[in-house]
Amino acid sequence: MRSHKMTKGIEKAPHRSLLYSLGLTREEMQRPLVGVVNSANEIVPGHQHLDKIARAVKDGIRMSGGTPLEFSTIGVCDGLAMNHAGMRFSLPSREIIADSVEIMTSAHPFDALVLIPNCDKVVPGMLMAMIRMNLPSIIVSGGPMLAGEDHGKAVDLISVFEGVGRVKSGQINEQDLESLELNACPGCGSCSGMFTANSMNCLSEAIGLGLPGNGTIPAVHSARIRLAKTAGMKVMQLLSDDLRPNKIINPKSVANAVAVDMALGCSTNTVLHLPAVFAEAGLDLSLDIFDVMSRKTPNLCRLSPAGPHHLQDLHRAGGIPAVVSELSSKGIFDLNALTVTGKSWRQNLQELQARVLDPQVIRSMDNPYSHEGGIAILRGNLAPQGAVVKQSAVTPEMMVQTGSARVFEGEEDAVQAILNAKIRKGDIVVIRNEGPKGGPGMREMLTPTSAIAGMGLDKHVSLITDGRFSGGTRGAAIGHVSPESVEGGPIALVKEGDKISIDIYKGSLTLNVTDKEMEKRRQDFKPLEKEIKSPLLRRYARMAGSASNGAAFRL
């Protein structure tokens, strides 16, 4: 066993002495040592109950003859970091989480790992570490929050963000907003819509690295505790069978993940995270596969913000196994792919008797919400390396638009303009210098998109940025424009009043300026200089790659 490097032999007497100081017995040291990676803290709502999940995982490990040893990682709540400088640290936290797991698992040679994430960057960070370390491993999330209820209507965090704009536009008063504040987030768990955290938890299940139910069992259900115990027991079987992530991750698991992504209408952040995750296995995941899979995978679900349903509804309707069953009926999902159950997806579906239990939540392949997937890739002279939009959350009248550019050098100025009613119907808001390097940190911009929706402009105003959007964003919000502004991408050359054409159906994003004029502007271009006080962000700006490749570090 790998842990024998730390526990076996005369020369390891000092190591055993330290382990004895923890209260471990010699028998516990002789058993497999399983690292339990917990991101619990008291500031992130999705993490406040992870102590209970970890306890259940450790119970499962002990029941199956292992010795669990828990350690922690950091975790950022994107909702709390939104619309201030703290959001610059969210995406960089993904790399730090992955690195911290590598450090702890290499310094202390565990035999296997159970990883317990919740929330936006923790899930991909732990997936990256899981694949990088390639130990028998399993991921089990804390699960989604239940939707709230306000005046008889299901609400969530996005309802509050959009409520700010609705107050500004006179649609509701401040007392209504306070009611939303109190009721939108009723308890623990990752926010209840198909936002980034839940998207990645569902996709970890689709990839085969999480057990069935990992993405959708609500955080407060006892089934979540049972799932955690099962994960603890199952990792011991993975260790016995020497089943590691490199036997699960391969090109067909990549295609499976993207297919489920498109069917669910996941967050556009998956286009950042999946390439970074699969890169750990040496697999190149370009924007092309999202484009290809989107065009052949119908959108079967419309969860908040794209529709009225939440994760609890998806779970009730059959969860990810039901979605997989539906996709496989048309040959879009490869059921021969292996999973951490030790069995193929085909065997899992048979054992679960997976089927769609509510066709309003999970539509059939013959009656989809749309015949293309939830995410679209756009290209053109404004985004030569690509841009991303959650087309399932775009109203039909906004799929094709030509409008005048309203240019802002950062998020804050754009938000003020929107809330002060300086943006008009037909405008196209351009926010630049928010990319991985230029931000730095590629801030998630839920505030401007929510403000546009709250002001009643989401059917009239598009937003284009080299930054990124929350999974809770709805409307014609086009992000990840690459190359980014600081690297001289065409978005840096847009001027106030320029005409921009968007055609999501055709996948095009065009700045209606002549090549001659663009070349003149390029010669005059000077990157916006920012004072970056944070040493971490200075390092991140130097190392971060393009959003088109997941913004992973360039080594």
Is-contact 310 192, C-beta < 8 A? Answer: yes
The half-sphere exposure of 486 on its side-chain side, counting CA atoms within 13 A, is 22
d(CA 127, CA 274): 9
> What angle is formed at CA 195 by the lines to CA 191 and CA 199, rounded to 5 degrees?
110
Other Cβ atoms closer than 10 A to 121: 30
Is-contact 452 165, C-beta < 8 A? Answer: yes
Catalytic residues, by residue number, are 470
Number of H helices, E strands in the chain: 21, 14
Cis peptide bond upstream of 144, omega within 30: no
Sheet holding 137-139, edge to edge: 67-72, 33-38, 112-116, 137-139
In order of 31, 54, 110, 162, the CA distances from 71 in angstroms are: 18, 10, 12, 37
Three state DSSP letters for 521-545: HHHHCCCCCCCCCCHHHHHHHHHEC
Altogether, the residues listed in the chain come to a count of 555
From the list 96, 41, 300, the residue with the least C-alpha distance to 194 is 300
Is-contact 161 181, C-beta < 8 A? Answer: no
Three state DSSP letters for 472-499: CCCCCEEEEEECCHHHCCHHHHCCCCCE
What's the CA dihedral at 10, 11, 12, 14 to 10 degrees?
110
d(CA 371, CA 365): 9
In order of 87, 386, 464, 555, the CA distances from 382 in angstroms are: 25, 9, 10, 28
User: Long-range contacts for 95-100 (Cβ within 8 Å, ≥24 apart)?
Assistant: 95/125, 95/540, 95/552, 95/553, 96/125, 97/39, 97/73, 97/121, 97/122, 97/125, 97/126, 97/128, 97/129, 98/125, 98/126, 98/128, 98/129, 98/132, 98/280, 99/129, 100/73, 100/74, 100/129
From the list 62, 158, 61, 78, the residue with the least C-alpha distance to 118 is 78
Helix, strand or coil for residue 416?
helix
